[in-house]
Structure 1
Amino acid sequence: MSTETPGDDNARHAAKMARIKAVRDRMMQTKTGEKGLVIVHTGAGKGKSSSGFGMILRAIAHGMPCAVVQFIKGGWDTGERRLLTAHFADLCQFHAMGEGFTWETQDRARDIAAAQAGWDKARALIRDPAIRMVLLDEINIALRYGYLDAAEVLAFLQTEKPPMTHVVLTGRNAHPDLIEAADLVTEMTLVKHPFRSGIKAQPGVEY
């Protein structure tokens, strides 16, 4: 028969948490650097663009000027586009450059031209040191289909991005060299998706 009391459990828990805190505090003392990050959100699962726009809203909350360039979903009337352009245009530029997914346009030359226009706009925004975060939404798709040169994009980020500017690149099938060079990479894993059960894309969830 156990003679332990709830007080014993609480004491053990408190001691365990104190040890964890001490280790965390020592680790955090070594993390003092700051830099502008290259961040990649990729993978087959949902949430890549959603996460990127979450970071944009976080930057806005800190009063950090930011910008969005959409490479694919330019024609979509999305919730994030409505919110940012209607309420935060003073802090966030929004440029919808794409014309839809490649199977919608069915015109490779047109897709390439739209992607290049998006990349030209992105470079100008990234070069501006006053802009602290730039979201390149779905650029990974443009890179995957060869609409943009991955080596050129990577070289620009490595040589011309201002030191304190964060650049977020979203889209599935991120280029391996981009993944290697990035500071932060998150892969969204598909476990279940309602589309497979016949549920269409819905406002507030997909856009």
Structure 2
Amino acid sequence: MAKSIAGPEIERLIQLLAKLPGLGPRSARRATLQLVKRREQLLAPLAAAMATAVETVKVCSTCGNIDTRDPCTICADASRDHSVVIVVEDVADLWALERAKALNAAYHVLGGVLSPLEGIGPDELTIRQLVERIAGGGVKELILAVNATVEGQTTAHYIMDQLAGMDVRITRLAHGVPVGGELDYLDEGTLAAAMRSRTAM
């Protein structure tokens, strides 16, 4: 193991940054150096913003989005069509669809996809809450906007099975989303086209 050349506080910062998606140890070291070099412009405001986030960020009890209020801004928006619910795997997918302004509807965040190999079953996701939400009435259409992966499609079929017999139209994203593609990496035009071209399952 390489000997540490920085103090324990700096090493701790590097280790924490390295846990973020897209940042390995080398990128984390570079980011840490920039933060420390620009302490007043970057590090102090970032630390303050993160402290505020710890205190104020909540998970929406209705849809699973993250916001500083519960219900979240989207769920509390009376101008949205709450009879249409878009089911996504993660909050990043919700944000991607919002950036695309694809549809002014409500959402439901699953928190992942079914993956037996990784030990993720229905109880680890918010599928039960989704079924209860549909059973409660008021939802006319459910759009399964999950990624076009094997796990995503397995999850979509499981949800369809759970909703069998309920009075809700179930659709999925259509053309524009490539097989194996992930929503968060697609451009807004592709996402908007896929939403407009959704088809029944």
Alignment TM-score, normalising by the size of structure 1: 0.35
Alignment TM-score, normalising by the size of structure 2: 0.35
The answer to which structure, 1 or 2, has the higher relative contact order (CA under 8 A, 6+ apart) is 1
Larger radius of gyration: 1
